[in-house]
Amino acid sequence: MNIGIIGTGNMGGGLGKLFASKGHKVLFGSRDPQKAKTLAGSIGPNASGGSIAEAARFGSVVVLAVPWSAVPESLKAAGSLAGKTVLDLTNPLTPDYSGLAVGHTSSGAEEIAKLAPGAHVVKALNTVFAQVIGGGPEFGPKNATALYAGDDPAAKETVSKLIGEAGFDAVDAGPLQSARYLEPMGMLNIVLGYGLGMGTSQVFKLMRR
């Protein structure tokens, strides 16, 4: 699958590397295409780099991996995402990272869907630290849970397969409106990891029987 990744930071870089290792073609899109090319070069032949618009055009799946404050400008630079599956892993944090800027009656993911008409937005991986993606989703015999939510069944299936193949226990959390609950869960992860000093090599695990 061709995957465009907007953002070359901890999440974008780590996820791109993971997807490329599973045989997908990844194109990183950056405000600085040279930076994206350098990152791609460090990963190998399945990765390439370019502009944000190039990443958006390249991917049938486009991953949005930028800070919340940069979402509007990144979507503008991307151009039309109509018909694409947009994997939104952002957490809509306030500028000082102390809380969420959106919630209760909407979510970052729903706001992104409004800004990207025709895109099939799927919220996923916002509850997983970049260090878990980098270190691999396997915790001994157990696999990290990655909850996802969206309104388009085909897009959800695509994301589920993608993150499942990457090693996560992919769990359907319902419609895109469930991002209203996934984003606070992402915030809780930050509180546990940073605020309470539990670190970032931790992940939520959904247990079932």
Ligand X SMILES: NC(=O)c1ccc[n+]([C@@H]2O[C@H](COP(=O)([O-])OP(=O)(O)OC[C@H]3O[C@@H](n4cnc5c(N)ncnc54)[C@H](OP(=O)(O)O)[C@@H]3O)[C@@H](O)[C@H]2O)c1
Tokens of 60: 């049938």
Q: Is 7 in the site for ligand X (CB under 6 A)?
A: yes
b/e per residue, 23-56, with b = 16+ CB within 10 A?
ebbbbbbbbebeebbebbeebeebbbbbbbbbbb
For residues 79-98, which are near ligand X according to CB under 6 A?
89-91, 93
Contact in structure between 119 and 153 (CB atoms under 8 Å):
no
**Measured distance CA(59)–CA(3) in Å, rounded:** 4
For residues 104-133, which are near ligand X according to CB under 6 A?
126, 129-130
Q: Is 10 in the site for ligand X (CB under 6 A)?
A: yes
Candidates 4, 12, 16, 59: give the one binding ligand X (CB under 6 A).
12
Q: Is 179 in the site for ligand X (CB under 6 A)?
A: no
Candidates 1, 2, 25, 31: give the one binding ligand X (CB under 6 A).
31
| Residue with smallest beta-carbon separation from ligand X | 9
Q: Is 65 in the site for ligand X (CB under 6 A)?
A: yes
Identity of the residue, 169 or 208, whose beta carbon is nearer to ligand X in the bound complex: 169
b/e per residue, 116-126, with b = 16+ CB within 10 A?
beebbbbbbbb
In the complex, the residues that contact ligand X under the rule CB under 6 A are: 7-12, 30-32, 35-36, 65-68, 70, 74, 89-91, 93, 126, 129-130, 186
